[in-house]
Structure 1
Amino acid sequence: MSPDPVAALREVGFWLERSRADTHRVKAHRRAADLVEEMSPAERDRHAAKNSWSTVRGLGPKTVAIISQAVAGDVPTYLAEQRAAGAAPLAAGGAELRAALRGDLHVHSTWSDGGSPLAEMMATARALGHEYCAITDHSPRLRVANGLSAERLQEQWAAIEELQAELDGFRVLRGIEVDILDDGGLDQERALLDQLDIVVASVHSNLRADSETMTVRMVTAIANPRTNVLGHCTGRLVTGERGVRPESVFDAEVVFEACRQFDVAVEINSRPERRDPPSRLIELARDTGCLFSIDTDAHAPGQLDFQTYGCERAEAAGIKPERIINTWPVDRLLGWAGAKKTAAAKQAAQKQAARLRAGRRS
């Protein structure tokens, strides 16, 4: 069955993103999809009847050919070529582990610095076989990434609730990638963090701090009962359009022991330009007894298939599926993620009660 022109253009964008094609090529197809989608039915019918798509400003020869062939009831030639090229797996290993994954816990949308709307990201995750996916847009301090203020985060929750009603059998998790502040604090209101399903805590600033400073900063964030996943721990970039960046320096033995002690999963970030942590640190975290989360850090639909890269690396390090939190059923995952917050709230209540009793005695 041939797709409609909008679906055809978006699918081409998916395959181009997946193959790590130049950004401008991807954007050209997504812009074309938006143009056609925004047309009234009468306008679309008029262009289809006259085959006048080339007169539409913003459409080029390739996108016009895709639209024309899809409207004619054919699978566009360029789409067929992209599907054929995408039939090969992205990585040589990790297939069994990828099949065991039930979800992705680090994904961005146009609410912050992602390239596609929330609905498209979640629909793609579902189409890739996931049972759940967390939306983890950035926190307020990361203004360069359009981080979400407290108000915008709550607005996103309303959008998630509306979208959830359309995705029967698939769970959209409320999450955040919260910036780890210089003092180790988390960059969002505590009361809002308490209401999230998943909190990924990552360092995005002062990446060249000395080892002691960075270690204290990271351990403080890990010890916070609201932190569930330590994101891209070294912050390195090994390739890509943004260039390269060296690893941050910290005492990995101390940081990973803190992850083990405070029940925080170490993220294996699947983005090809990150490959974070490096293999030696994945092995150290494994030997320390840490849990893991294999995530894409996707900013576009085609990048949601990058999990295969992370699975290949986890498999090479001998990480067992039961130690990877996104192989767990959603109820187990949410129970695990919420347990620390519940325990912390209970402890805080007990301390408050003790202070009140002490005040009455005095």
Structure 2
Amino acid sequence: MSDPRDPVADLRRIAFLLERAHESTYRVRAFRTAAAALRGKDPDELAALARSGELVKLKGVGEVTARCVAESLTGEEPVYLRRLEATDGVERVQAAIDLRDTIKGDCHSHTDASDGGSPLWEMVETAIGLGHDYLVITDHSPRLTVANGLSAERLRKQIEQIAEINAGLRGFRILTGIEVDILDDGALDQQEDLLAELDVVVASVHSKLRMPRAEMTERMLTAVANPHVDVLGHCTGRMVTGNRKRPESDFDAEAVFAACAEYGTAVEINSRPERLDPPKRLLRLAVEAGCEFTIDTDAHAPGQLDWLDNGCSRAVLCGVPTERVRNTRDAEALLAR
């Protein structure tokens, strides 16, 4: 094992970098408070607490800061600090532009078949104009009647329509998909055999968003483990702007993201300005959990397909590795994954 690092210095460095990045005061305070709580503590005592998992019993030390301290004490640069250092000195605007330039398609979009405002062909023409190589059409599933969700019969007709349009395309591909509702028990709102035919399945919670934490966690875990699910859509369901503001759903994010990593379900970075979901603290948690991601617009109109910049900026800010963003891959590699 390497010689231990100075955990107080590491915590203070994290706080400094967060301040320089204009992060929220409460996040900075968490690291500065933990650093103050540990100042002057005997390193052997801290090491014993880290081994027993009792660092969080120290006043001012939370789960995230305790993890950083434990990593420092093993001689490793904390993952949290390493991520911040990796983007320090890099112009974030340019980094987001570079990430955007690597994205080859959008995995979440809607047409007027459900609650989008434009027909499929217009969404496709716009995606081609934006330089995409592919677009996944993910109209809603039947239970979401307010969004004119597609029945199995209507979805099959859409699959046929996409095949017909693809036959006349060169250098671009429409991928079949769905944004399927996660039902109260975690089941999916569409026939299993039909889901198996689709290229990409985005699963999202749209109902009972205030479900108790334990029930919501189990609901999401069940969906994430379903072999048909490729992407967990807008995981908290929050709305941060406009007339439809609503808080985040309450669930055990560590457990859900661990399941996403285990089952190979990507976590969506939703680029809609009223969603920007997951929140930054949860997006960082998903990075630490080893998740893969898709950066999607959740576009309901052609102009919204150009919202990828929002998601790319958040991905860079939260240290999402480019190689873990699935839609930086071409269609064949995306489908193989």
CA displacement 1:298-349 (0-9 Å, x = unmatched): 000000000000000001111111100000121111111xxxxxxxxxxxxx
Partner residue in 2 for 1:139: 141
* CA distance in 2: counterparts of 1:263 and 1:94, whole angstroms: 25
Q: Check if 1:332 corresponds to 2:333.
A: yes
Partner residue in 2 for 1:292: 293
Per-residue deviation, 1:92 = 7.7
Letter in 1 for 2:167: A
CA displacement 1:47-89 (0-9 Å, x = unmatched): xxxxxxxxxxxxxxxxxxxxxxxxxxxxxxxxxxxxxxxxxxx
The aligned length equals: 245
Do the aligned residues in 2 keep the contact of 1:108 with 1:298 (CA within 8 Å)? yes
* CA distance in 2: counterparts of 1:167 and 1:308, whole angstroms: 26
Partner residue in 1 for 2:176: 174
Q: Check if 1:260 corresponds to 2:237.
A: no
Partner residue in 2 for 1:158: 160
Q: Check if 1:301 corresponds to 2:302.
A: yes
Partner residue in 2 for 1:348: none
Q: State the SS of the aligned residue for 1:281.
A: helix
CA displacement 1:88-138 (0-9 Å, x = unmatched): xxx786100000000000000001000000000011011101101100000
Q: State the SS of the aligned residue for 1:199.
A: strand
* Identity, % of aligned positions: 61
Do the aligned residues in 2 keep the contact of 1:92 with 1:312 (CA within 8 Å)? no
Q: State the SS of the aligned residue for 2:306.
A: helix
Q: State the SS of the aligned residue for 2:177.
A: strand
Partner residue in 1 for 2:249: 248
* CA distance in 2: counterparts of 1:203 and 1:304, whole angstroms: 22
Q: Check if 1:321 corresponds to 2:330.
A: no
Do the aligned residues in 2 keep the contact of 1:113 with 1:299 (CA within 8 Å)? yes
* CA distance in 2: counterparts of 1:202 and 1:313, whole angstroms: 20
Partner residue in 2 for 1:277: 278
CA displacement 1:181-202 (0-9 Å, x = unmatched): 0000000000000000000000
* CA distance in 2: counterparts of 1:93 and 1:262, whole angstroms: 29
Q: State the SS of the aligned residue for 2:189.
A: coil
Q: Check if 1:98 corresponds to 2:100.
A: yes
* CA distance in 1: counterparts of 2:113 and 2:253, whole angstroms: 33
Partner residue in 2 for 1:44: none
Select the structure of larger CA radius of gyration.
1
Per-residue deviation, 1:243 = 2.4
* CA distance in 1: counterparts of 2:244 and 2:149, whole angstroms: 23
* CA distance in 1: counterparts of 2:95 and 2:171, whole angstroms: 29
Q: Check if 1:224 corresponds to 2:236.
A: no
Partner residue in 1 for 2:209: 207
Per-residue deviation, 1:166 = 2.9
CA displacement 1:176-220 (0-9 Å, x = unmatched): 000000000000000000000000000000000111000000000
Letter in 2 for 1:328: R
Q: Residues 101 and 179 of structure 1: is their aligned pair in 2 closer, same or farther, counting only changes over 3 Å?
A: same
Q: Check if 1:234 corresponds to 2:250.
A: no
* CA distance in 2: counterparts of 1:251 and 1:92, whole angstroms: 34
Q: State the SS of the aligned residue for 2:136.
A: strand
Letter in 1 for 2:185: D
Letter in 1 for 2:258: E
Q: Give the 4+ runs in structure 1 shifted more than 3 A.
A: none
Letter in 1 for 2:100: R
* CA distance in 2: counterparts of 1:280 and 1:93, whole angstroms: 20
* CA distance in 1: counterparts of 2:123 and 2:115, whole angstroms: 13
* CA distance in 2: counterparts of 1:309 and 1:251, whole angstroms: 26
Per-residue deviation, 1:165 = 2.4
Q: State the SS of the aligned residue for 2:180.
A: strand
* CA distance in 2: counterparts of 1:234 and 1:96, whole angstroms: 27
Partner residue in 1 for 2:192: 190
Do the aligned residues in 2 keep the contact of 1:259 with 1:290 (CA within 8 Å)? yes
Q: State the SS of the aligned residue for 1:94.
A: helix
Relative to the length of structure 1, the TM-score reads 0.67
* CA distance in 2: counterparts of 1:288 and 1:93, whole angstroms: 23
CA displacement 1:258-317 (0-9 Å, x = unmatched): 000000000000000001000000000000000000000000000000000000000111
Partner residue in 1 for 2:29: none
* CA distance in 1: counterparts of 2:102 and 2:336, whole angstroms: 19
Letter in 1 for 2:264: D
Q: Residues 110 and 164 of structure 1: is their aligned pair in 2 closer, same or farther, counting only changes over 3 Å?
A: same
| 1:20-59 matched pairs, under 5 angstroms | none
Relative to the length of structure 2, the TM-score reads 0.72
* CA distance in 2: counterparts of 1:257 and 1:154, whole angstroms: 33
Do the aligned residues in 2 keep the contact of 1:203 with 1:235 (CA within 8 Å)? yes
